[in-house]
Amino acid sequence: MDRNAAATPPGTATAAPPAFHVMAKPAGATCNLNCAYCFFLKKEKLYPGSSSRMSDEVHEAYIRQLFEAHQVPQVTVAWQGGEPTLMGLDFFRRSMELQARYRKPGTQVENTLQTNGILLDDAWCRFLHDNQFLVGLSLDGPRELHDAYRKDKGGQGTFDRVERAARLLQQHQVEFNILSTVNRRNADHPLEVYRYFRDELGAHYLQLIPIVERVNERGETGSQEGNRVTDRSVRPEQWGRFLIAIFDEWVKRDVGRTFVLNFDGALAGWLDMAGTICIFGPTCGTSMALEHTGDLYSCDHFVEPGYLLGNILETPMIQLVASARQRRFGQDKWDTLPRTCRQCEVLHICNGECPKNRFVDTPDGEPGLNYLCEGYKAFFRHADRPMGIMAGLIRQGRLAEDVMRVMATREEVGGTEQPRPARNEPCFCGSGLKFKRCHGK
């Protein structure tokens, strides 16, 4: 890992991106649960007195403008919340009509739905299956770990209802990802969490989301203010240990069978490619959030007055996406990196992660370091060798899962890593090249 900071970011936002991502919140911040760490529940106060339901006018404008603005043949329509299923099935049936009306010929449309699963039943699952939705289901691990924070409005745990939803999705063959937050409670149980998803639930797609809840000077949470965190927030070193423990198990036996978005997104850094998740990109600004009123914000994590781009009933969405303000937002991700990041050996993979987490000082007192830095640095260093092997395999047109055979052959599993080859010896990745011409370069 010897690629230190470049002077300019590898990718810079253009005036009108050919494709972008919008998370639409048809029910605003309204939810039928009361998860302790949810940052979005507090957004209700942005729209006091609102019905928190997307009108048909906003719905139609959103779908029409989204399709008009895309210059690529794939469009994602992303539904999120709050809890979007509170809108009822008829809202989504109407969306299918609107999408059929406004999609350009030859355009492939994928709908995604992020849900807590509580309202899912046979009718929902049939609809989701028939319309090929990709569902994200929020679940934090086995019962005790899930129920620690994911409670209903009566303070009861929700594990049974969410697990039932997962089984229902499986019965109806709906494709789904597990979105698991990683908090101070479950972060000490990485293998328990991972094995529950893999072995008991039979899930093949996972995304791990660190809980970093800032507290401002008034003791409030839910905004991008303050440099303290709640005691529910994962600690940086805990986050690193959590990722490392799961990675070690995954890379030994599950590559190609279980997909962990965090690992896929990080692998892009070893491949010098644009990644699948915005947090590891050098710039951002192409993932916006749309409120039920038609208000478009710079990002789902910045639904705050200072990041309101405008309303799509007044200004076409593409103008808001391409606005100087939004480009500045995306470019700031690179431009505000502290010196510690610019000199960091894993900058090309991490890129300082998400700006929402950059609120601590560097060791030399510069502001803007990522709260999770210690954990990420530990993880990226730890994963360097297997990730390097996977990147080498992919570059040769081979499958990333061959890493398991390569590493087993070299007895690198179980922490018994062999010494690095000499410069003129064959590279450990199986490329057939000398080490000095491959991973030893």
> For binding to ligand SF4 (CB under 6 A), which residues are involved?
278-279, 284, 287, 299, 301, 333, 340-341, 344, 346-347, 350, 352-356, 370, 373, 376-377
Taking the complex as a whole, the smallest distance from the CB of residue 245 to ligand SF4 amounts, in Å, to: 19
Taking the complex as a whole, the smallest distance from the CB of residue 330 to ligand SF4 amounts, in Å, to: 7
Taking the complex as a whole, the smallest distance from the CB of residue 422 to ligand SF4 amounts, in Å, to: 30
In the complex with ligand SF4, which residue's Cβ is closer, 117 or 388?
A: 388
In the complex with ligand SF4, which residue's Cβ is closer, 67 or 379?
A: 379
What are the tokens at 157?
A: 């745990």
In the complex with ligand SF4, which residue's Cβ is closer, 94 or 356?
A: 356
In the complex with ligand SF4, which residue's Cβ is closer, 158 or 298?
A: 298
Taking the complex as a whole, the smallest distance from the CB of residue 4 to ligand SF4 amounts, in Å, to: 10
Taking the complex as a whole, the smallest distance from the CB of residue 107 to ligand SF4 amounts, in Å, to: 24
In the complex with ligand SF4, which residue's Cβ is closer, 350 or 403?
A: 350
d(CA 248, CA 225): 35
In the complex with ligand SF4, which residue's Cβ is closer, 114 or 158?
A: 114
Closest to 206 measured CA to CA, from 153, 265, 150, 152: 265
Which positions are annotated as active-site residues?
300
Taking the complex as a whole, the smallest distance from the CB of residue 242 to ligand SF4 amounts, in Å, to: 16
In the complex with ligand SF4, which residue's Cβ is closer, 105 or 305?
A: 305
Taking the complex as a whole, the smallest distance from the CB of residue 213 to ligand SF4 amounts, in Å, to: 15
